[in-house]
Structure 1
Amino acid sequence: MKPGILAIFLCFIVGVENIGAQPIQQKSAATQHWWKEAVVYQIYPRSFKDSNGDGVGDLKGIISELDYIKSLGVDVVWLNPVYQSPNFDNGYDVSDYRKILPEFGTMADFDSLLNGMHRRGIKLVMDLVVNHSSSEHEWFKQSRSSRINPYRNYYHWWNAENGKPPYRFSLFDINHDAWQYDTLTNAYYLHYFSDKQPDLNWGNPKVRNEVYSIMRFWADKGIDGFRLDAFQFVAKDTTFPMFPKGFEKNFMLYYAMQGNLHGYLQQMNQQIFSKYDVMSVAEGAGNTFEDAHNLVDSNRHELNIAYAFNGVDLAKPNGYSLLQFKSIFSQWDSAFEHSGWLAVFLANHDQARMVSRFGNDAPQFRTLSSQMLSTFLLTMRGTPFYYNGDELGMVNPNFTSIHDYRDEVILDAYKHTQLTGGNIKAFLKNLAFGARDNGRTPFPWDSSLNAGFTTGLPWIGINANYKTVNVAVEENDPNSCLNYFRKLMQLRKNNPTLVYGKYTLLDKNNPQVYAYLREDAAGKFLVVLNFSAKDAVFNNLTLMAKANVVLVLANYINKPSTIALRNKIPLRPYEAMVIKL
């Protein structure tokens, strides 16, 4: 990680992990579960569909498109926060965990959404944001009102008469300082993120019980899982020892998986996960393979799925190494080959668009590279987490002005860059590649005004290519990203080998091609992917040549149904093939 708020911020939004340990092996065999076989479709509600013309997506908008979601073939929807919030961090600053933010709708709307999903055989997973709350939550208002208030220890306070607290780095603070002085009680409170997001004190059993009560509220409504936002940070050494100078350059070593985190998760499992058939996944997987394994080892009774950021962390404005990409995903698969389970993803609400970061958003390559990346995601072992709009091949909007952005964290970073004499031109260039808002532009439904997203003024700009990249256009094109995604979904559903089968990397040192086998007693598949904009060759050094093998899926439309498996297979730019052996 490079110094400076932009570099630190960009590293955070793509995820910062430092997995360095060697893969560890477990003996127990993989067990079948619905959450392993599922494909998770993430919906960013603010940008999905607006039903009332206020320019903000809402629950009724999602309800109106449930048949579209069903048509994708996905099994689970992960819904970003819709709770009551002042919306500083787009819902990740919750002021009431049992209420719906009015601009999204009402609790009755939520109930209708949940029922509509369940009628269609779709499960719903919600974000649980409990590393911190909003500073406008009643708990925090009480906590800061008096040093003797019963809610004081719901948060982390440092009394000012004890001097300034030991430095802690803040991910979202303009000054990078995680301690905010509060005049009301002459004390500092801790916030790893924004000063509007004070960290909850998980060492306080009352806080934990409050969280379990919130989880029961939603589980009793019938939701199907929780994604625990920033949960790897919840456990803290509340003596707040001094950290080494410069620790913020590798702050994950000091922030992630500390203290009694596993004890908290085991208690949460006992209180909640053991009593409901729900998916559980924590954002982040710690600093080592052992950290990640400990989260999802079934014998430990904690979580279902490890969600690690190493893969997405590779993307940089000047490109990335496919050899590193292959190495990271192969190491993770090896570490979890015999037990535990992973999420596989290349995008989410904290990332720029998948095609712009890992593919090629030039018009001649957008569709092909999108289809190639989707092929990767849906043929790897692990639960795919797929971000809304990627099925259309959405790309970054190419914003050129700071006024195009809405993310308060970005705006604060811009101010910091100005105040410290930083390079504004370079700052904006980096934002255009990696800023979170790139992945938050409205979902394009058709070619009408505002892409059919809203009849009002959109809360953030519409991508300029919406007239050609939208649902209506792609529905009518059998070779579109959308229809290719549906074929991939059907292929995965029809072939459990692509879920549970052994993964074997082939042609390891090929800098352009990612090729691997997926195999078990039920079948054997070869996946060949050209990750480059140039012609490439798959060097078949492992498999025997065969005259005719079945090509079950390809993203070039002029491919025959069978091909010859030779020692060298030529590939066109961003070509993807799934071959049944």
Structure 2
Amino acid sequence: MNKDDKKNGDNDTKIKFIQDGKNLDDAKVKIEGREDAFTGLTKEELMEYANDPFWVRLRWFLFILFWLVWIAMLVVAIVLIIRAPSCSTKKAENEAKDSAIYQIYPRSFKDSNGDGVGDLLGIVSKLDYIAKLNPKFVLINSPLQTNPLLQDEGLVNFTKINTEYGTNSDFKALIDKIHEKGMKVIMELDIHHSSNLHPWFQKSLAGTTRHREFYVWENGNGGNPPSNERSFWVGSTWTFSPERNQYYLSHFASKLPNLNLNSEALKTEIKDIIEFWLKYDVDGFLFPNADIWFKYIPTTTLNISSMPKNITLEEYKTNDLISFIKDVIENANKNRRIMLVEPYLEDSTMLYGSKADIVVNKALTQINGNCDAQCVANYVQNVRKQVPEKKGTWMLGNKDVSRITSRMGSQTYVNALNALLLLLPGTSLPYYGDEIGLTDNPLSSLQQSYDPLCKIPFKGECRDMFRSPMQWKPQNNAGFSNVSSQSWTPVNQNFESNNVETLEQTNKYIPVFSQLMALKKTDPFSGGHFKIISQNPNIFAFVRKCHDSPNYITLINLGKETSTFVNNRNVTQLSDKAEIVLDSLKTKASLTPPKVENLLQPMTLVPGQVIVLKLKE
């Protein structure tokens, strides 16, 4: 039976209900006047598309892309975890990295026998004090026998302790006592030159076969020196010898002839010397003047036939010698020993590619009272850009540089500068007396001088001022010596107020120095990430962090006025809650228990003040 046609709205579409027979289940709907709507692809059509080469390639491309992206993300995550600064994995192959090395100039540290000259047993008598300062290493500067007229310049014997300091047995006793205190010993060994009184030079002068080439000898140039280079001290680098009718090279003075480190026979002697001192159980060596070992040496003397590209002849020979020495040190003793090299010139770039464990950097020896926080930040950033992380070092002064307190012009910054030295990433080399703000001691006349540089006209240097005796007590000779007359060089006139005993009694400088040294041995100061966050020209602020330890912010006011620090979380990306673990204006006891500070509130620091904050999670 046919039903009446019905219209769907105003269009021409017609719907018919058709029933064939009596069974209503057989009813059908017929739509007329419009095309059938899309009802999807059939299985056959889908398979046709699925097997189409274009869609097959697209599917495989997206599939592979997905897994590549997933694997890449996994690899990045693993690399980030591995490379994230970890304080628990300090590199065992370089024990000095991130440690403190306390420099001692024996002549000026402590006199044990009343002759007015510091000595090795004097150092032994002060080991409890040194251990309280908490360094990992003790560096003994210039301990070997030199020409008495040239104050620790020019060795006359590479295997004998300077008789003014004691004996080889005294040196062994010192090493053993330092080891008992849990510290290690580094000795300075200068192989750049010797004294002209050394038997090697005398034999080379005489032209004996074995020693003939132990020094750099060259023929003259028409009655003139082989070249026109000037020495670092005064005059020409070349000195004429009538005995050999030749010139010998001397970078500093005619009485300090350069050793010819290209000589295989001499290198054998150097190997024997290193092995000799390793038997005394020294833990490492500092080799000064390494950047000028081969400076101004004629190519004919170096006898080089070929060398790598993109490297100077000097650098090639220097790195080769460092590798030789490093191998000697490692092969001669089963225990780990370290090798430090120090440049004579300020730029130590040439040494960073060598096998030396530590390259001494002198950048911070240039800062003075005109250098604010931004200036210091620039020095630090420049060093970190140039220096491989594992060889980074910081030094404010040594026996050849004016003391940092004198350069700053005030003892206001003693704590600030020690915090800078000890909490930056890398190896720190505090110089004896830095912990009490020892200053240069101007000499009233050249008659009081011992350093040969003092007597060179127009040189403008006299290193005795930087090497004045350590000031122990407010008594005669500052407790350095009980000599009835003056010690080898005068004690600074400020010794009555600026001495260890007085400062310990007043909790000034030394307690802060010891706390800083202790922090340096802990995470994350013993390794990990470093970031400068300074936002104030007076306050040098930086973060130390690693993923497996608490994070720290250090604030140091290096300016001349009181300044305020505000934690900008957009910069630090760290917590706004912290505990003060060190405040140079407060005693350690007054900070116990630690008080939680809100870093979103301004923190005010007076000039020279240091605050170290441990961030809360």
Q: CA deviation at 1:145?
A: 1.8
Asked if 1:280 is matched to 2:345, the reply is no
Structure 2 CA distance, aligned partners of 1:127 and 1:325?
29
Whether contact under 8 Å (1:333, 1:503) holds in the other structure is no
Q: 1:396 and 2:440 equivalent?
A: yes
Correspondence for 1:516 among 530, 542, 565:
542
* Residue equivalent to 1:421: none
Give the superposition deviation at 1:82. Answer: 1.7
Distance 1:28 1:36 in 2: 18
**Alignment match, 2:374:** 323
1:550 is the counterpart of 2:579:
yes
Within 1, Cα distance between the matches of 2:232 and 2:123?
31
1:497–1:518 CA contact under 8 A, matched in 2: yes
Per-residue CA shift, 1:231-288, capped at 9, x if unaligned? 12112464369xxxxxxxxxxxx99953411111112222223543112110029887
8 Å CA contact 2:97, 2:390 repeated in 1: no
200, 206, 212: which is aligned to 1:152? 212
Greater relative CO, 1 or 2 (CA 8 Å, sep 6+): 1
CA contact (8 A) 1:256 1:286 kept: no
> Normalised by the size of structure 2, how large is the TM-score?
0.76
Distance, in Å, in 2 between the alignment partners of 1:496 and 1:144 is 56
Question: In structure 1, which of residues 210, 216, 237 is the aligned counterpart of residue 275 of structure 2?
Answer: 216
Q: 1 CA distance for matches of 2:555 and 2:172?
A: 43
| Residues 40-439 of structure 1: pairs in structure 2 closer than 5 A | 40-146=101-207, 149-160=209-220, 163-164=223-224, 165-173=226-234, 175=235, 177-236=236-295, 238-239=297-298, 257-276=314-333, 277-284=336-343, 291-295=350-354, 302-315=355-368, 319-320=370-371, 322-336=373-387, 339-357=389-407, 359-361=408-410, 366=411, 368-412=412-456, 415-416=457-458, 435-439=462-466
| TM-score, structure 1 as length reference | 0.81
TM-superposed deviation, 1:334: 4.2
Distance 1:321 1:121, change over 3 A: same
Aligned to 1:484: 512
- 1:500-542 CA-to-partner distances (Å, cap 9, x unmatched) read 121101126x432211111101121111111122112335442
- The correspondence for 1:459, drawn from 488, 509, 529, is 488
Where structure 2 has 5 or more consecutive residues not aligned to the other structure, the ranges are 1-82, 301-310
1:443 deviation in Å? 0.6
Structure 2 equivalent of residue 422 of structure 1? none
- Partner AA of 1:472 in structure 2: E
SS at match of 1:515: strand
Indicate whether 1:580 and 2:598 are aligned: no
Whole-Å separation in 2 of the counterparts to 1:170 and 1:122: 39
Residue identity over aligned pairs, in percent, reads 26
CA distance in structure 2 between the partners assigned to 1:321 and 1:512 by the alignment: 6
> If you compute each CA radius of gyration, which structure gives the higher value, 1 or 2?
2
Out of 452, 455, 476, the residue aligned to residue 449 of structure 1 is 476
Question: Structure 1 residue 566 and structure 2 residue 600: aligned?
Answer: yes
The answer (yes or no) to whether the contact 1:286–1:292 under 8 Å persists in 2 is no
Query: What runs of 5+ residues in structure 1 fail to find an aligned partner?
Result: 1-26, 242-253, 296-301, 418-426
What amino acid maps onto 2:245 in structure 1?
A: N
Cα RMSD over matched residues? 2.7
Q: Distance in 2 between matches of 1:503 and 1:194?
A: 43
Q: Distance in 2 between matches of 1:523 and 1:86?
A: 52
Supply the distance in 1 between the matched residues of 2:313 and 2:362 (Cα, whole angstroms). 13
The one-letter code sitting in structure 1 at the alignment partner of 2:603 is I
> Which residue type is aligned with residue 607 of structure 2?
P
Q: Distance in 1 between matches of 2:609 and 2:554?
A: 11
* Aligned-pair CA distance for 1:100: 1.5
The one-letter amino acid of 1:310's match is A
Residue 562 and residue 288 in structure 1: after superposition, are their counterparts in 2 closer, same or farther (change >3 A)? Answer: same
Aligned counterparts of 1:37 and 1:547: Cα–Cα separation in 2: 28
Contact kept in structure 2, 1:546 and 1:564, CA below 8 Å: no
Provide the rounded CA distance (Å) in 2 between the counterparts of 1:255 and 1:59. Answer: 41
Cα pair distance change 1:236/1:393, threshold 3 Å:
closer
Give the 3-state SS of the residue equivalent to 1:31 in structure 2: coil
Tell me the alpha carbon deviations over residues 335-362 of structure 1, each in whole angstroms, 9 at most, x when there is no partner. Answer: 456x5322211011111112122x442x
State the distance in 2 between where 1:527 and 1:257 align.
40
- For 2:262 and 2:422, how far apart are their aligned partners in 1? 39
Whichever residue aligns with residue 38 of structure 1, its letter is: S
How big is the shift at 1:378? 1.3
What is the number of residues matched between the two proteins?
505
